[in-house]
Copies of this chain bind each other. A is one copy, B any other.
Amino acid sequence: MTAHMTPDEFRRYGREVIDWIADYYENVESLPVLSQVAPGDIRAALPSDPPEHGEPFEAVLRDLDDVLLPGITHWQHPSFFGFFPANASGPAILGDLLASGLGVQGMLWATSPSATELETHVLDWFATLLDLPSTFRSSGSGGGVIQHSASDAALVALIAALHRVSGGRTEREGVGSGRYAVYTSEQTHSSVEKACRVAGLGADALRKIPVDPATLAVQPTLLREAIETDVRRGVTPALVVASIGATGTGAIDPVGELADIAHQHGAWLHVDAAWAGVAAVAPEFRWINDGVGRADSYCTNPHKWLLTNFDCDAFWVADRAALVGALSILPEYLRNAATESGAVIDYRDWHVPLGRRFRALKLWAVIRWYGAEGLREHVRGHVALAQEFASWVAADDRFELLAPHPLALVTFRLRAGDEATRALMERVNSSGELYLTHTVVDGKVALRMAIGGTLTESRHVQAAWQLLSSP
């Protein structure tokens, strides 16, 4: 007999792991944020061969502490200000644990109806929380689905756009060469270029539209020109990706205007609001979503700034038929009465993989634990901290702000130049006290202070400014 972990052992080790995690959160602030190991250090401490005989679970926990922990960069540290945050929270961790425990696979409605129906329902709830337009609700022609990441969402939006713009030809005949073009801000995330490469268009199909130097948002007239140039050359505009909260600087594109231009030429408008979109839980930030009612798809990531562990990208489409048309294949071994009745959603047709976890459980647990009220407070608190931080930067002659900062990302630099700014970043990051990352704005190296950790409080932001501003 295989020596499975018995339910009693699971209770015992489960408690140890729960306690390990609780201890971790109680102590994480005392750890260096950025791991200081060198390449190969971790592997050198691991046995070269797998064990022949099973080991007690204590051995795993011991090596976690002794071997792995020094090689962890602590994304849950309250002084982690790099990239964008990757929020974890108690209810999300436990929701995900329940999904692991149930171990169901929701590729079809029939393979666990609750997994599908809860996901549809929670994404309707979430659309309500963000006050997203009715076009994205499942009661009409749209609906939501959880993708792993915004990169997956961009890819899927592109596939659906190609399906629609080609009248269903691309999934049979392919995308051809130089036939279709994709447009996005020069500030947009690399995911759009990756999607063009993966979807077979190639990077040459991507038009990076210059931004307004003041707002760092796409200039609609330049988008229009690029599209018209393509149309004259016989290239079909397939997809425009607008950003709400671009990765480098947090720039917010004029979505409504871009949608109108896209639609005049038959293209799909996808909104990547991966980081910033969740801010719309608070009414005072809903202006960021102006124009989203004219978008064809929209994504935002609770796993970034809304207390839900990675991975959880909420993705909505206004026309689910385009998505399903692009991705549906029904081999015999997946046929079943519910699918053939047409009365159910089979989420395998809404993304690239076939199999899927019970993805909605953790988002459901988060929304219920915090309520709309708690989610608003979470976002508001970080925006207020970022505004305070920006005011300190603005008041210090040695520094300058480099981009608008209406939410919780502040982009700034030393006036002394690129080298001094990089040196500052290296100094603070190697201290272990905090971690922040950089970008380039208008040719200048800039630091990005992304405030949004689950545990980040005022004192952490104050300490960060102390460290950054002391010579």
Contact = CB atoms under 8 A, between A and B. Distances in A.
Interface stretch (A89-97, A219-227, A288-296, A392-400): A89-97
Nearest to A178: B174
A419 interface: no
A372 B204 contact: no
Contact of A190 (B93, B344, B354): B354
B310 A357 contact: yes
Interface in A30-61: 35, 37, 39-43, 46, 49-55, 57, 59-60
Given A43-B117, A109-B39, A18 B7 contact: no
A388 interface: no
B374 A193 contact: no
Nearest to A11: B22
A134 interface: no
Given A98-B64, A378-B2, A41 B202 contact: no
Nearest to A110: B73
A448 interface: yes
A118 B200 contact: no
A164 interface: no
A112 interface: yes
Interface residues of A, number: 166
Contacts of A390: none
B46 A121 contact: yes
Given A60-B368, A177-B179, 10 more contacts: A11-B19, A17-B97, A35-B113, A40-B117, A55-B368, A88-B100, A151-B353, A152-B353, A194-B354, A198-B198
A87 B105 CA distance: 10
Contact of A352 (B39, B52, B102, B152): B152
B54 A113 contact: no
Contacts of A352: 151-152, 155, 194, 198, 352
Interface string A17-28: 111111111100
16 contacts: A1-B377, A1-B381, A14-B21, A21-B97, A39-B113, A54-B373, A73-B110, A93-B101, A170-B197, A174-B175, A174-B178, A174-B204, A175-B177, A194-B329, A248-B331, A333-B437
A333 B248 contact: yes
Contacts of A75: 102-105, 111-112
Nearest to A360: B68
Contacts of A105: 75, 83, 86, 310
Contacts of A121: 42-43, 46
Ordered nearest first, which 9 A-B pairs have the shortest CB separation?
Answer: A200-B200, A5-B90, A71-B114, A14-B18, A88-B103, A21-B101, A174-B202, A175-B200, A42-B117
